[in-house]
Amino acid sequence: MTPASLRFLKAMCVAAAGSMVLAACGNNPTTSTNLAADQTLKFPILGDFGTLDPAQLNAETDSEIAQNVFNGLVKFDNNLNIVPDIASAMPTVSADGLTYTFKLRQDVTFSNGDKVTSADVLYSWNRAAAEQGAYATNLAAIDGYAKVSANTVNGGAALEALLEKKDPSVILSGLSAPDPSTVAVKLSGPAGWFLSAIALEATTAMIVDQKVVKTDFDNWWTKPETAIGTGAYKISSYVPKTSIDFAAVDNWWGSPKPTLKKVHIDILGNAHSAINAYEQGSYDLYGYGGYSNAPVDDILRIQGTANEKSQLLLHPKVRTTWVAFNLVHDAKRPAAGPFLCPPQTKAMEDTCSTPAGAAAKNLRLAFALAVDKTKLATVVCHDIVCAPATGGLITKGLIGYAGDNTDPLAKFDAAQAMSLLKQGDPDGSKTKGLTYTYDPNNPLNASVAQFLQDQWQTNLGIHVDLQPVDHSAFIHGYLAGKYVLNRQGWQADYNHPQDWVDNLWGSITGCPDANCGGGYDTKAYDDAIAAADALPLEQAIPKYQAIMKTLEDDAIYIPLYYSQGAFLIKPYVKGAGTNNFFDYYWNQIQILSH
């Protein structure tokens, strides 16, 4: 409404006696008369999803879409609290913290009408664990996971046959279904992160219908007739790489009941075209579907456009980007470089801060302090799409965040950097021929790389070459220890520090030899994370913070920035939005008349 008509309406309200006018005076007119007749939501995404099979999916787009099609026992609500979903209530936990008992709702059905029972839960989890997709480790705390994860039949009709037979090699021994509406989960050890992992939307803990999965074990999700889930929406048509349509499921068991009848997604590939189309009215939203890293210049332009400014929603996302140093050089990690921590003995002690490792540590500190992170955020991100990472690697807003300006590695001190450089490399020989490797797929990475090069040149007088390597090769490379200096980043899956410490450093993830950036692994680290992982979250927080502090003390990274997402939402779209992790579910969205 324009301000003028609003004033008029207010005047009317004051003078009104009739109830009809009073109804319109309410602040949030959500009566059905305000809803548009055509409840179709249209928005663009920039790349097709890879898969919608919960056992396999691992990309943000996959999960932002699949979260509306599948459900798990528990889920995160909009405020990131864990609440029951298919379960009727939060699970009862045994005294020793090892057994979780879930009671299922009686009214949950798949979109084809099949009733959901505990057998479906067991089937889904066993299948996901046996397939060993990217997020299979969400189920790692369950007793028997180690055996199932070692099975070699990872898909196809063969795996289906094994699951039907209940072959022990693919059945998690810790799962049991005492009756059709009860699931009992026995963990192999206390794990405070277990509930967070299985609440993770759209991934391995989501429930699928064995009846349809059987018909085409690997590709059942590609056809609307067999892409069956328990969510409020189901695929109604899919043209690969072009568009996807979803329709609301009739008589859906959950709440709020969906208002949107249809969701239409176009796959466009070009962010500028997508934003232009949004501005022209072809789309109701931009940024949904995992594509919230909008180009900076478009955001600047929209911020300068009067009638569009209010449609822009900027929200922190749980992603941190930093520079990783190569710390280990051995038979499996070919890269060397001047930043290495001294070699450890079999006891895996932390050598990074010992006198022997002082020179290398000074160099790491020098490189860290020579980068002006505030200037980076201003110049590269225009203070819009990123903010300097001053509180440690765990993103601001997440549990485990250390607090603003607590990370000494985030400081900028060119003089100090120079003096540390002199101490670490007096004759300048060690810092010759360095290369910073990055993947240029996200345009921000290239800008950041050039910024870093400029900073090290200006503030340290050191020339560092830039090496762009395509994303998949890049991942191969840094996991294989090929790079001395490289970009690294992490997007949190759920609000639990375990997601960070278990997956980035230490032997759980494969450090120091493989599957690890930087190579950091010490016995102290492994012990610390094992202890913290076993505790319930509230008790574990100080332990996790201590772990992150160790990383700071050892100076194994250069923190760069926390990411921000940008969304465009038309004023007539109600209920759309985002939290740090995911875009709000579609069944919460309504289209007002406009």
Partner 1 sequence: MLTKGTLVYIGQRLVLIAFTVVAVSSVVFLGIHRLPGDALMSERLRGSAYQALLHHYGLDRPLLVQYWDYIVGVVTRGDLGESLVNRGLHITPLVLRELGVSAEVGGLALIFTIGLGLTLGIFAALRQNTWLDYLLTTTSVVGYSMPNFVIAAFLILIFGVWLDNVTGGNFYYQLGGWRGDIGQLWLPAFALGFPYASIVARLTRASMLEVIRQDYIRTARAKGLTEFLITVRHALRNALIPVITILGPLVIGIITGSVVIENFFGIPGLGKEFAQSILNRDYAIVIGVFTMYAALVGLANLVVDLAYVVIDPRIRY
Partner 2 sequence: MATAVAAIARPIQFEQASLWSDAWRRLRRNRLALVATIYLAVLVAVALVSTVWTPYRMSAIGVTQTYAPPSAAHLLGADELGRDILSRLMVGAQVSIVVGVGTQVLVLIVGVPIGLLAGYYKGWLDSVISFVINVFYGIPDILVAMILVFLLGPSLRNIIISIVVTRWMDMARLVRGQALSLREREFVEAGRAAGARPVKMLFGHILPNALGPIIVQATFGIPAAILFEAFLSFLGVGVQPPTPSWGSMANEGVASIQYAPHMVIAPSIALSLTLMAFNFLGDGLRDALDPRTRR
| Binding residues vs partner 1 (CB under 8 A) | 48-51, 53, 56, 58-59, 131-137, 149-150, 152, 154-156, 218-219, 221-222, 239-243, 266-270, 273-274, 276-277, 279-280, 282, 441, 469-477, 479, 503, 510, 515
Distance CA 526, CA 443 (A): 35
User: Please, which residue, 227 or 335, has the CB nearer to partner 2?
Assistant: 335
Angle at which helices 271-279 and 296-303 cross, to 10°: 20
Beta strand 82-84 with 573-574 is unpaired
- Strands of 3-64, DSSP E: 40-45
* Neighbouring C-beta atoms of residue 429, cutoff 10 Å: 9
Least distance from partner 2 to the Cβ atom of residue 355, Å? 37
Q: Are 313 and 569 in contact (CB under 8 A)?
A: yes
Tell me how far, at minimum, the Cβ of 529 lies from partner 2, in Å.
37
Please say which residue, 293 or 545, places its beta carbon nearer to partner 1. 293
Closest approach, Cβ 571 to partner 1, in A, equals 19
Give least dist CB 382 to partner 2, A.
7
Nearer to partner 1, 381 or 516 (CB): 516
* Beta carbon nearer to partner 1, 59 or 541: 59
Which one-letter DSSP state was computed for residue 588?
G
- H helix or E strand, kind and range, residue 50: none
Residue among 353 and 447 whose Cβ is closer to partner 2: 447
* CA-CA-CA-CA dihedral for 487, 492, 495, 500, to nearest 10: -50
β-strand partners of 74: 84
Nearer to partner 2, 231 or 287 (CB): 287
**Could you say which residues in the range 327-386 bind partner 2, by CB under 8 A?**
375, 379-380, 382
Helix or strand (DSSP H, E) at 464:
strand 464-468
**What is the distance of C-alpha 48 from the center of its chain?**
18
Phi, psi of 490, deg, nearest 5: -150, 135
- From partner 1, partner 2, none, interface partner of 449 (C-beta below 5 to 8 A by class): partner 2
- Binding letters toward partner 2, positions 379-408, x by CB under 8 A: xx-x--------------------------
Q: From the CB of 23, what's the least distance to partner 1, in Å? A: 37
125, 172 Cβ separation under 8 angstroms: yes
Name the nearest CA neighbour of 519 among 489, 480, 571.
480
Nearer to partner 1, 142 or 462 (CB): 142
Cα-based distances in Å from 480 to 26, 340, 360, 459, 476: 61, 16, 21, 31, 6
Distances from the Cα of 538 to the Cα of 71, 138, 406, 498, angstroms: 27, 20, 21, 13
- Cα diameter, the chain: 88
Q: What is the DSSP letter of 206?
A: S
Shortest reach from residue 529's CB to partner 1, in Å? 17
- Distance, CA of 323 to CA of 559 (rounded, Å): 7
Q: Which does 239 bind (CB under 5 to 8 A by kind): partner 2, partner 1, none?
A: partner 1
> What's the closest the beta carbon of residue 131 comes to partner 1, in angstroms?
7
- Residue 484 touches which member of partner 1, partner 2, none, C-beta under 5-8 Å by kind: none
Which among partner 1, partner 2, none contacts residue 553 (Cβ within 5 to 8 A by kind)? none
* Contacted entry of partner 2, partner 1, none for residue 297, CB cut-off 5 to 8 Å set by kind: partner 2
Q: Which does 266 bind (CB under 5 to 8 A by kind): partner 2, partner 1, none?
A: partner 1
- Residue 392 is classified by DSSP as -
* Among partner 2, partner 1, none, residue 503 binds (CB under 5-8 Å by kind): partner 1
User: Which of 383, 358, 367, 348 minimizes the C-alpha distance to 520?
Assistant: 348
Residue 423, classed as helix, strand or coil, is helix
Residue 592 touches which of partner 1, partner 2, none (CB < 5 to 8 A by kind)? none
Helix, strand, coil abundance in the chain, percent, nearest 5: 35, 20, 45
Distance of closest approach, residue 434 Cβ to partner 2, in angstroms: 15
Q: Is the peptide bond before 512 cis (omega within 30 degrees of 0)?
A: yes
227 vs 560 by CB, closer to partner 1: 227
Say which residues have a Cβ less than 8 Å from residue 241's Cβ, sequence separation at least 6. 48, 267
Nearer to partner 2, 451 or 572 (CB): 451
> Does 530 interact with partner 2 (rule: CB under 8 A)?
no
- Site mask for partner 2 (CB under 8 A), range 423-462, x = bound: -----------------x--x--xx-xxx-xx--xx----
Nearer to partner 1, 136 or 312 (CB): 136
Residue placing its CB nearer to partner 2 in the complex, 436 or 494:
436
Q: x/- binding map, residues 254-293, to partner 2, per CB under 8 A?
A: ------------------x---x-----------------
- Report the 10 Å Cβ neighbour count for 250: 9
- Residue 472 contacts which entry, partner 2, partner 1, none (Cβ below 5-8 A, type-dependent): partner 1
Distance CA 413, CA 417 (A): 6
Instruction: Give residues in contact with partner 2 (CB under 8 A).
Output: 272, 276, 295-298, 300-301, 375, 379-380, 382, 440, 443, 446-447, 449-451, 453-454, 457-458, 466, 468, 470
